[in-house]
Structure 1
Amino acid sequence: MPQGDNENGRQEPRIGTVASTVAILRQLASTPAPLGVNAIARSLSLTPSSCFNILKTLVSENIVDFDPNTKLYTLGAGLVSIARNALDPDAAYEIVRTRLEVLAETWGMTAGLWRAHSDRILLVGYVAGARMMRIQMTVGQRLPKLIGSVGRCMAAAMDLDREELARRFAGLRWESAPSFDEYCEQVEEAKRQGWSIDRGQFVRGATTIAVPLQREDGDLKYCLVSTMFTGQHDDDKVPLIVKELQQIARWASRPIDGSGVIQQPPLRQSTRSV
């Protein structure tokens, strides 16, 4: 029987049907064309009857779609709500999206929301301003928690000692890496000013500004981030962009009932003259 690691690192047997179900979903996700039961079973070394029974259950739960004419299977819409809840359990992006759209359009840049999850940060959602060349991203992408402008904000909030920060910094991969001393100074700066900027160190040619979206309990779970081409805006425009991000962060950080749901802020005009 296949083995898996439990949270203590010990090997435990995996439930065969569950493992097969996950393998079938991954197979459908990785293949652009619809697949038949025999093709799926053959690629995963499953018996056709077992594969069919699993697919039948997944179809009944709207997790997989079945075309009765072609006898082929594809991923179903039921996965969307599951994935959405896993990616953004507080529905925070829907709350800030309208404000981020205004920001992105005003400044001609990309604006997004990142969420901390374990030792990673996840891109919950983003919008790109209308300009001939845009920075496109991938919703759901994961990065190390302490990298880039978001990482400096996270490190500032975590208040790690220098030894632990050095250990984590050593595992980060940058395109134009700062020295550890420089990174420490940037973390301290983020702690003092309440935001952080990365000027082409994580990704050459891209400048990102991150503003933490902290909850009333002080926990840093989200960061609002603007991403632009390096040199796109003069340095004197940075404080204006930061100000708008901070306004969104303040409005969006107010819990309405303590359940993790965040209150919808009123829409305001951008502070930039256009």
Structure 2
Amino acid sequence: MTDSRTTPRPPSTVRKVAKAVQESKAPAIARAAAILRLLGKSDRPLGVQAIAKELGLVPSTCLYVLRALVEEELVAFDPDTKRYALQAGVLTLARNWLRRDAFNDLAQPVLDRLAQRFGLTMLGVQAVGLDHMIVVAMAQSGSGFQLSAQVGSRFPALISATGRCIAAFGDYGEKELKARFDTLRWDDPPPFADWMEQLRQTRAQGFAVDEGQYIAGVTVVSAPVWKGAGRPVHALVAIGIGAALQREGLGELQQALVEAAAALSEQLSGDRPLPAA
């Protein structure tokens, strides 16, 4: 079962696109990226007017970008309905990325195993600086009431337990973190001073926990995964109903998650060969 709070809650798309276009040295690319994201999250094909209105674009400009995307086989156009949808060409880009990033191949069996062991939703996420995190892998146990997020979902980078990991191990300045923190939406937002203390705890113990602050009644546990030196690029995330996690043993889950993240970090950093298909 999907909880609406697990879907991304970004600022106004119109404001984001307008800002990106204004600041970008390649506004056409910013517009194309915005259109692809919009079509990707839409449940149905969209017409030019609907796309332009949602993204705050001039319809003629929107049409120009759409035609270019159709030519590149990234977007499909239905001449009968005059609507646009993602084309299979985007899968080629995604497949090439997956081949380069060993995290997904290595993490998926780990996520499957932990999801079955603890009866939870497990996610593998990739951090993109302080902008956002993206769900790149997911597993569920198939039993009981569970929360879920779709692969490709985007979240604010500093939200919940994973955000604490990103901030704690990212060597970011307090002023920069405060500016980002003030834009986050929580069910029970922690004071910034408390959150900073939680970052210190995260660095000390190697994982972070959000007990109902992001989503009331939901506990999120996250452990960072490194791919060499520097800031962590990925994280393993466990999501479950808080009361159920307490009954099953939160400490055992935390230990299992940290051990799994450490093993993945070693595999990614050591350039070990991927398991045979």
Matched letter for residue 188 of structure 2: S
The partner residue of 2:191 within 179, 186, 190 is 179
1:76 is the counterpart of 2:93: no
The partner residue of 2:136 within 124, 143, 167 is 124
> For structure 1, which runs of at least 5 residues remain unmatched after alignment?
267-274
In the superposition, the TM-score normalised over structure 1's length comes to 0.72
Residue 143 of structure 1: CA displacement? 2.3
Residue 132 of structure 1: CA displacement? 3.0
Q: Residue in 2 aligned with 1:148?
A: 160
**Bigger relative contact order, structure 1 or 2 (CA pairs below 8 A, ≥6 apart):** 2
Matched letter for residue 22 of structure 2: D
Higher percent of residues as helix = 2
Within 2, Cα distance between the matches of 1:88 and 1:98?
16
Matched letter for residue 166 of structure 2: M
1:170 is the counterpart of 2:182: yes
Q: Residue in 2 aligned with 1:138?
A: 150
Q: Which has the larger radius of gyration?
A: 1
Percent identical among aligned pairs is 31
Q: Residue in 1 aligned with 2:241?
A: 229
Q: Residue in 2 aligned with 1:63?
A: 74
Q: Residue in 1 aligned with 2:116?
A: 105
1:249 is the counterpart of 2:266: no
In the superposition, the TM-score normalised over structure 2's length comes to 0.71
Within 1, Cα distance between the matches of 2:272 and 2:179?
34
- The alpha-carbon distance between structure 1 residues 162 and 78, as it changes in their structure 2 partners (threshold 3 A), is closer
- The alpha-carbon distance between structure 1 residues 62 and 153, as it changes in their structure 2 partners (threshold 3 A), is same
Q: Residue in 2 aligned with 1:194?
A: 206
The one-character-per-residue Cα deviations of 1:117-142 (angstroms, maximum 9, x if unpaired) are 02122222211112131211132222
Alpha carbons 1:114, 1:122 under 8 Å: kept:
yes
Matched letter for residue 212 of structure 2: G
The one-character-per-residue Cα deviations of 1:43-79 (angstroms, maximum 9, x if unpaired) are 97449xx969975x75665434567999986432111
Residue 203 of structure 1: CA displacement? 0.9
Number of equivalent positions: 254
Matched letter for residue 137 of structure 1: A
The one-character-per-residue Cα deviations of 1:153-199 (angstroms, maximum 9, x if unpaired) are 12211244544443433232211011223212211111111111110
Matched letter for residue 94 of structure 1: D
Q: Residue in 2 aligned with 1:96?
A: 107
Within 2, Cα distance between the matches of 1:144 and 1:40?
23
Matched letter for residue 170 of structure 2: M
